[in-house]
């Protein structure tokens, strides 16, 4: 199957662009428990790291120190199907079940900074908060070698760093043995709560010489309170985030702080390792650094500023890279689009060229076809001209011959007529003369038709109109065929109202000939026992008469040609010259009328003539009546026969011929020497041959139905009849026909018209040879 290129092009382009894009995005959700300087630093580190991982997206949410809100945030990350969830749990009790649930559902979850109970998490990044507490205790001893009275301001009660830092600090202080915690309270990691707590504790223990706050914000709050109370204890915090803790140490607001590492970038890498299935340790503990005090705070601040600057540069670089990347992407897209457009253009060009060539080829083919058609038309034209010239020549020739034939014909018909009236004729002689008379009439009519046709063609035929009562005339003409109809057992129905007085102008002689032609055709083609109906109808502007028969009908193919001159329907056994109907049509058209034919093979034919109604003031002149019952009987009727008795001494001769006259004539000519039997069709002939086993069979090659050749073949194949000599009669002297005849088993032939003596001699010889 061929798929047009243009159809698959969109898919190719889609593939092209789809191939240029990587859809894999790793989404990381970070749930911070709070929003403060330390966490802002961490968030900054996370975002900075993310810049280096274009495949990753980050979303950071802050719970603002509310465990309930943090649970909501975590649910959001779960519902949105984040690839990895990172959480710094606000309070261990509240967050442990939620984290466990996430972990157990199979969604990766990382814990950092603060902890939950147990280890139902994918990974944890944390700091040893106990060690921070211990380090703070050790640093305090360094500040106050003797008699340390410490106030401890703790973080949120339920958060693990608060618990662990307190434990480490208290235990280390007890170990060192030079001090004790005189008072402690929760500052909840924030400035205000710590401020209130420091105020109440300092007022109660104004002699306290050390404050350990769990983060810098709370340490600063305590420092402010102490200052306001006129006290100056040593103050230690935790975090060392640059904006608050480091700055407070640098400003000598507090004495020291411990770096609580943020390491946001490591957290991101951990998350990416987990999301991409790379190996990742479950517990990652970050190392601790030593205390930050006035000796190193400035340097750290400076480093931080540089870091900020570097970060900005990185950001700038990143935005430039992004910019370049965007431009590159745009250019790549443009590039692919250009290629696609080019491909499209080529495709269109290709199609256009193809269409152009096809069109050209088509055009050439059409031109060639045109040329051939023109050639054919010219040829046709010249053939037509030749044909019409030939036809004209033929007509001229026929006309001349017809003229020449008229005289001898008259000279034959006169004596034949005279002879037939003689009293002393034997019945056989009478029959022979009857045959001659009939055929002279047929010949004369044919010659007249030919001459009339020629006159018509040359435009020399006039109409002799006279006013007649047409209905009566038609009825009268039809009556003349009655006797013939009875003789042939044909039912002739006349549907004419003979009382119809209406008159119209016609050329009586011509219409009579039209009528004779139509009705005699009907009789010729209608078998005995058939039916012929003549009808007449009048209309305001025309009259119509029709002749319908139940003959064998005309094929659809022939229907269109029957009015053509010389057209013969039955070419095997022609019953006319092919001129009668075309002359009929000519006569009708001379009257301004029309003739139409309807026919169905095997059912019959109806010829309908329409003549316009017109009137002249001319009474019918006396025209010699063309039709009389006798004439019709002579021309169309059978010739009477005189059956003979069988004479045992004579050989038996079977004649097979569908022409009744031919059978009659052969009977008359041969019956003196032979006992004659006759068959009018091939099938009948075969049956009679088998039944009577004659001494000789004479048969006509051309017959409708089973033709003569087939008849001969069957007779020769049948054992009982195969020995009978067969003599064929043929109107055609073509060699091939003779060969065909001999091949079918014929023993001899005689071509028509034959000399009776030759026929008699051939018959005698054949019988003698066979004997």
Q: How far is the CB of 86 from ligand FRU (least distance, A)?
A: 14
Binding segment for ligand FRU (CB under 6 A), chosen from 36-44, 177-185, 435-443, 463-471, is 36-44
Q: How far is the CB of 121 from ligand FRU (least distance, A)?
A: 16
Q: How far is the CB of 217 from ligand FRU (least distance, A)?
A: 6
Task: With H, G, I as helix, E, B as strand and everything else as coil, classify residue 538.
Answer: strand
User: How far is residue 288 CA from its own chain's centroid?
Assistant: 80
Q: Are 666 and 655 in contact (CB under 8 A)?
A: yes
> Which backbone phi and psi does 283 adopt, to 5 degrees?
-110, 120
Binding segment for ligand FRU (CB under 6 A), chosen from 46-54, 155-163, 582-590, 641-649, is 155-163
User: How far is residue 282 CA from its own chain's centroid?
Assistant: 66
- The yes or no reply on residue 480 touching ligand FRU (CB under 6 A) is no
Identify the burial level of 597 via C-beta atoms within 10 angstroms of its C-beta, where 0-12 means exposed, 13-18 middle and 19 or more buried: middle
Q: How far is the CB of 301 from ligand FRU (least distance, A)?
A: 18
Among 103, 112, 189, 398, binds ligand FRU (CB under 6 A): 189
User: How far is residue 538 CA from its own chain's centroid?
Assistant: 57
Interhelix angle 67-79/92-104, rounded to 10 degrees, is: 10
- The yes or no reply on residue 112 touching ligand FRU (CB under 6 A) is no
Among 49, 164, 193, 239, binds ligand FRU (CB under 6 A): 239
User: Residue 185 and residue 271: Cα distance in Å, rounded?
Assistant: 36
The site for ligand FRU, by CB under 6 A, has a size of: 14
Q: How far is the CB of 323 from ligand FRU (least distance, A)?
A: 36
Q: How far is the CB of 32 from ligand FRU (least distance, A)?
A: 8
Residue nearer to ligand FRU on the CB measure, 38 or 234: 38
Q: Are 26 and 56 in contact (CB under 8 A)?
A: yes
SS3 content of the chain, % helix, strand, coil (to 5): 50, 15, 30
Binding segment for ligand FRU (CB under 6 A), chosen from 154-162, 263-271, 443-451, 684-692, is 154-162
The answer for residues whose C-beta is within 8 angstroms of residue 689's C-beta and 6 or more apart is: 654, 697, 715, 718, 721, 724
Q: How far is the CB of 88 from ligand FRU (least distance, A)?
A: 7
Residue nearest ligand FRU, CB atom distance: 215
- The yes or no reply on residue 169 touching ligand FRU (CB under 6 A) is no
- The yes or no reply on residue 530 touching ligand FRU (CB under 6 A) is no
- The yes or no reply on residue 260 touching ligand FRU (CB under 6 A) is yes
Task: With H, G, I as helix, E, B as strand and everything else as coil, classify residue 493.
Answer: strand
Among 30, 39, 208, 416, binds ligand FRU (CB under 6 A): 39
Interhelix angle 297-420/5-19, rounded to 10 degrees, is: 170
* DSSP sequence for 273-292: HHHTT----SEEEEPP--EE
Residue nearer to ligand FRU on the CB measure, 103 or 260: 260
- The yes or no reply on residue 746 touching ligand FRU (CB under 6 A) is no
- The yes or no reply on residue 161 touching ligand FRU (CB under 6 A) is yes
- The yes or no reply on residue 749 touching ligand FRU (CB under 6 A) is no
- The yes or no reply on residue 90 touching ligand FRU (CB under 6 A) is no
- The yes or no reply on residue 154 touching ligand FRU (CB under 6 A) is no
- The yes or no reply on residue 36 touching ligand FRU (CB under 6 A) is yes
Q: Please name the helix (run of DSSP H) or strand (run of DSSP E) that holds residue 200, with its range, or none.
A: helix 191-204
Q: How far is the CB of 341 from ligand FRU (least distance, A)?
A: 57
Residue nearer to ligand FRU on the CB measure, 68 or 618: 68
- The yes or no reply on residue 164 touching ligand FRU (CB under 6 A) is no
The answer for residues whose C-beta is within 8 angstroms of residue 723's C-beta and 6 or more apart is: 770
- The yes or no reply on residue 113 touching ligand FRU (CB under 6 A) is yes
Residue nearer to ligand FRU on the CB measure, 139 or 189: 189
> Which backbone phi and psi does 624 adopt, to 5 degrees?
-65, 130
- Quote the tokens at residue 491: 């039912």
Report the candidate in 139, 25, 158, 189 with the shortest Cα–Cα distance to residue 91: 158
- The yes or no reply on residue 238 touching ligand FRU (CB under 6 A) is yes
- Quote the tokens at residue 644: 């003979």
CA distances from 239 to 86, 140, 312 (A): 20, 16, 23
CA distances from 124 to 145, 416, 693 (A): 37, 145, 129
Q: How far is the CB of 260 from ligand FRU (least distance, A)?
A: 4
Residue nearer to ligand FRU on the CB measure, 38 or 470: 38
User: How far is residue 480 CA from its own chain's centroid?
Assistant: 68
Binding segment for ligand FRU (CB under 6 A), chosen from 32-40, 355-363, 511-519, 693-701, is 32-40
Among 38, 82, 536, 699, binds ligand FRU (CB under 6 A): 38
Report the candidate in 182, 124, 130 with the shortest Cα–Cα distance to residue 153: 182
Q: Which residues bind ligand FRU (CB under 6 A)?
A: 34, 36, 38-39, 113-114, 155, 159, 161, 189, 215, 238-239, 260
């Amino acid at each position: 199957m061929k798929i047009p290129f243009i159809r698959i092009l969109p898919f190719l382009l889609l593939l092209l662009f789809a191939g240029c894009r990587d859809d894999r995005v790793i989404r990381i959700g970070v749930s911070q428990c709070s929003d403060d300087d330390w966490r802002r630093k961490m968030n900054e580190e996370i975002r900075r790291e993310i810049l280096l991982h274009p495949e990753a997206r980050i979303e950071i949410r802050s719970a603002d120190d509310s465990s309930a809100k943090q649970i909501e945030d975590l649910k959001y990350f779960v519902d949105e199907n984040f690839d990895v969830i990172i959480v710094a749990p606000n309070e261990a009790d509240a967050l442990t079940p939620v984290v466990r649930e996430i972990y157990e559902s199979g969604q990766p979850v990382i814990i950092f900074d603060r902890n939950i109970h147990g280890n139902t998490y994918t990974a944890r990044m944390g700091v040893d908060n106990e060690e921070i507490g211990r380090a703070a205790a050790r640093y305090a001893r360094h500040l106050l070698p003797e008699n340390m009275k410490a106030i401890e301001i703790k973080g949120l009660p339920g958060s693990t760093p608060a618990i662990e830092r307190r434990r480490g600090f208290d235990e280390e202080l007890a170990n060192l043995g030079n001090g004790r915690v005189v008072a402690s309270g929760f500052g909840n990691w924030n400035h205000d709560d710590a401020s209130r707590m420091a105020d109440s504790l300092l007022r109660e223990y104004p002699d306290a010489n050390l404050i350990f706050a769990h983060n810098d914000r709370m340490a600063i709050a305590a420092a402010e309170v102490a200052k306001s109370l006129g006290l100056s204890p040593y103050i230690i915090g935790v975090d060392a985030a640059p904006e608050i803790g480091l700055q407070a140490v640098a400003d000598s607001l507090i004495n020291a702080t411990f770096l609580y590492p943020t390491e946001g970038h490591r957290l991101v890498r951990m998350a990416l390792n987990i999301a991409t299935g790379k190996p990742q340790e479950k517990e990652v503990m970050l190392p601790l650094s030593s205390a930050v005090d006035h000796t190193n705070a400035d340097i750290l601040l400076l480093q931080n500023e540089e870091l900020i600057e570097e970060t900005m540069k990185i950001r700038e670089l990143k935005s430039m890279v992004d910019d370049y990347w965007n431009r590159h992407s745009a250019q790549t897209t443009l590039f692919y689009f250009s290629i696609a457009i080019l491909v499209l253009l080529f495709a269109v060009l290709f199609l256009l060229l193809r269409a152009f060539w096809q069109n050209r080829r088509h055009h050439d083919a059409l031109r060639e076809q045109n040329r051939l058609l023109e050639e054919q038309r010219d040829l046709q034209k010249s053939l037509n001209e030749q044909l019409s010239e030939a036809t004209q020549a033929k007509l001229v020739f026929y006309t001349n011959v017809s003229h020449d034939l008229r005289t001898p014909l008259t000279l034959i018909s006169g004596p034949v007529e005279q002879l037939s009236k003689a009293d002393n004729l034997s019945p056989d002689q009478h029959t022979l003369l009857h045959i001659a008379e009939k055929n002279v009439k047929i010949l004369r009519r044919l010659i007249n038709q030919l001459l009339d046709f020629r006159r018509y063609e040359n435009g020399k035929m006039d109409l002799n109109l006279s006013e007649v009562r047409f209905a009566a005339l038609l009825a009268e003409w039809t009556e003349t065929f009655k006797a013939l109809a009875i003789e042939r057992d044909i039912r002739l129905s006349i549907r004419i109202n003979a009382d119809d007085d209406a008159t119209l102008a016609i050329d009586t002689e011509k219409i009579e000939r039209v009528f004779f032609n139509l009705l005699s055709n009907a009789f010729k083609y209608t078998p005995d026992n058939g039916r012929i109906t003549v009808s007449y109808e009048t209309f305001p502007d025309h009259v119509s008469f029709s002749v319908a028969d139940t003959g064998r009908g005309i094929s659809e193919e022939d229907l269109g040609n029957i009015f053509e001159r010389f057209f013969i329907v039955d070419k095997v056994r022609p019953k006319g010259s092919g001129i009668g109907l075309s002359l009929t049509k000519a006569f009708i058209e001379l009257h301004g009328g029309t003739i139409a034919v309807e026919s169905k093979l095997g059912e019959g034919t109806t010829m309908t003539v329409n003549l316009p109604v017109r009137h002249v003031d001319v009474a019918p002149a006396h025209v010699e009546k063309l039709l009389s019952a006798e004439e019709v009987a002579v021309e169309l009727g059978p010739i009477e026969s005189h059956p003979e008795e069988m004479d045992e001494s004579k050989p038996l001769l079977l004649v097979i011929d569908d022409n009744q006259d031919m059978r009659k004539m052969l009977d008359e000519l041969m019956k003196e020497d032979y006992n004659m039997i006759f068959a009018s069709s091939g099938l009948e002939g075969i049956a009679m041959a088998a039944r009577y086993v004659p001494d000789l069979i004479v048969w006509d090659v051309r017959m409708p139905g089973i033709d003569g050749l087939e008849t001969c073949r069957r007779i020769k194949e049948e054992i009982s009849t195969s020995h009978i000599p067969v003599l064929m009669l043929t109107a055609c002297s073509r060699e091939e026909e003779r060969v065909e005849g001999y091949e079918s088993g014929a023993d001899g032939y005689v071509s028509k018209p034959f000399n009776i003596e030759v026929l008699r001699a051939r018959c005698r010889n054949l019988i003698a040879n066979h004997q």
